Amino acid sequence: MFKMIFVYPYKRKTNDFCISQSIRLVKKYFPESTIYTVGDKVEGINNIPFVESSIIKGSNVTAKMLHCATLFDKFVYMNDDFFINKRLDFNQTLKGSENLERKEGKASIAWNQASDNTKHFLEFNNYSITTYECHQPVLFDSKKLINTFKNIDWKSNDHFLKSLYFNINTPKKSLEIDNVKLKEPNISKANFYLTLYGCLSIGQGFLNKKGVEFIKSL
């Protein structure tokens, strides 16, 4: 395994609690790793300055990841609300058990548009349409990432970075998982995800007193 490089595309929210806790766990379980934020800074962490230029959130994230691909051979794509432990195996790619589909009434307009655009591109080019939108960290190969997006109009269209990359670059080893994002502090399910998959993601509703104490205890 290469020396781990973890990259967080980051735009500051109300505070740094989630990303600080996420980084704490990276340091705990992957102590030889190097960690970067791309965009806003987090105290004590390497930062790669980046000025966002798009009104499309996903396009800004993709721009940041493509910039990182010019700096590193491989890197782990993280979000500030991802929490991991030693059970996370970067030799296999975590994916959903279903294909990309709209979630009418359950997802935002932007999310559904990203799903449509990603699915249509993949189908038109005869790729599989498995969803990789499970709120999980993934390992990117930089050359493959750059080549993947050379012929995709990602700057002006909502899209799913992970689903495009992994359907075009089929992983050698993969594992089907649940969507590991929890919107409320269901501690038993949180422990289940961490035990089975080595990762967990949370929504804002998770961060009540019970949820905060759980995250601090990891």
Query: pTM of the entire structure?
Result: 0.95
Tell me the pairing of strands 82-84 and 199-202: antiparallel
pLDDT, residue 1, reads 55
| End-to-end CA gap in the chain | 25
Which of these, 157, 100, 147, lies nearest to 128 by C-alpha position? 100
Check if the beta carbon of residue 47 is closer than 8 Å to that of residue 110: no
Name the residue among 122, 21, 97 with its Cα closest to residue 8.
Answer: 21
* CA 33 to mean position of chain CA atoms: 17
Per CATH, the number for 5-217 is: 3.90.550
77 forms bridges with which residues in the sheet? 7, 138
84-116 b/e (C-beta count within 10 Å ≥ 16 → b): bbeebebeebbbbeeebeeeeeeeeeebbbbbb
Nearest-Å Rg of the Cα atoms of the chain is 17
Q: What is the pLDDT of residues 33-85, one digit of tens each?
A: 999 999 999 999 999 999 998 999 999 999 999 999 999 999 999 999 999 99
pLDDT of residue 2: 62
The domains of the chain are located at 5-217
Q: What's the mean per-residue pLDDT of the chain? A: 95
pLDDT of residue 91: 92
pLDDT beneath 50: ranges in the chain: none
Closest CA to 167 of 142, 132, 214, 195: 132
Q: How far apart are CA 22 and CA 17, in angstroms?
A: 9
d(CA 78, CA 21): 13
CA distances from 45 to 2, 8, 101 (A): 20, 11, 37
pLDDT for the residue 194: 98
